[in-house]
Amino acid sequence: MFAVLEVDTSSYCSKKLDGYTQGVFINNDLLIIDSILNVFVIEHTHKTGLFLCGLQIHDYQYYYQKISLKDSNDEKVIWINAFAPIIMKLSNLEPSKYEKKLIRKGKLEYKPFNWRKDIICGNDGCGVFWELKIKVSNKSIFDIRISGV
């Protein structure tokens, strides 16, 4: 599953997109990106032996967030943010009794989570989160971060 998002500069996660401006998906951008992404997933998926945290991803059906960007040279870059299905389960948890008390007192803001609109931030999880950027013009992958590494 995937969602196409826009850059939300109010999000803490958007700091990793500093230096870029909002781009636009056109024509077959998503087909190109998906073919590159499929190769990356095959090459980095853990198959046997010791799992290399920070270098490998799990054999999951990840959720993908895709944002079209422009770099300082006006070249199109697509940021791919991926996270494992377990994050969907965790993100749909109800606030605890203590959190509900803080919400009622106005000391905590509760905002229902929507992965199709809100950028997911993850810096751990040993393959649960990963991200990369793809330069569309030459189909190159860069800024690969698996589990925040």
Round the CA-based radius of gyration of the chain to a whole number and report it: 17
pLDDT digits (tens, 9 = 90+) for 83-125: 888 877 776 667 788 888 988 998 888 777 788 888 887 777 7
Both tokens of residue 44?
A: 């980095």
Residue 65's pLDDT band, with cuts at 50, 70 and 90, is very high
Query: Is 14's pLDDT higher than 90?
Result: no
CA within 13 Å, CB half, 61: 3
- DSSP letters for 77-129: EEEEEEE-HHHHHHHTPPPPHHHHHHHHTTSS------TTTSPP--S-TTTTE
Write out the two tokens for 56. Answer: 């490998």
Average pLDDT over residues 78-84: 91
pLDDT tier at 57, thresholds 50, 70, 90: confident
Q: What is the mean pLDDT of residues 46-61?
A: 79
Q: What is the pLDDT of residues 15-47, one digit of tens each?
A: 778 889 999 999 889 999 999 999 999 888 888
Tell me what the mean pLDDT of segment 125-144 comes to: 90
The tokens for 6 are 């826009």
Output the pLDDT for position 12: 64
Ramachandran sector of residue 139 (left: φ over 0; alpha: ψ -120 to 50; beta: rest): left
Residue-wise burial string across 105-133, b where 16 or more C-beta atoms lie within 10 A, e elsewhere:
eeeeeeeeeebeebbbbbeebbbbbbbbb
Domain-by-domain residue ranges, the chain?
2-85+116-146
Report, as an integer, the average pLDDT of 112-141.
85
What's the N-to-C CA distance of the chain in angstroms?
Answer: 24
Q: What is the pLDDT of residues 83-93, one digit of tens each?
A: 888 877 776 66
Determine the pLDDT at residue 149. Answer: 62
Note whether 122 and 129 are within 8 A (CB).
Answer: yes
* Between 87 and 74, the higher pLDDT residue: 74
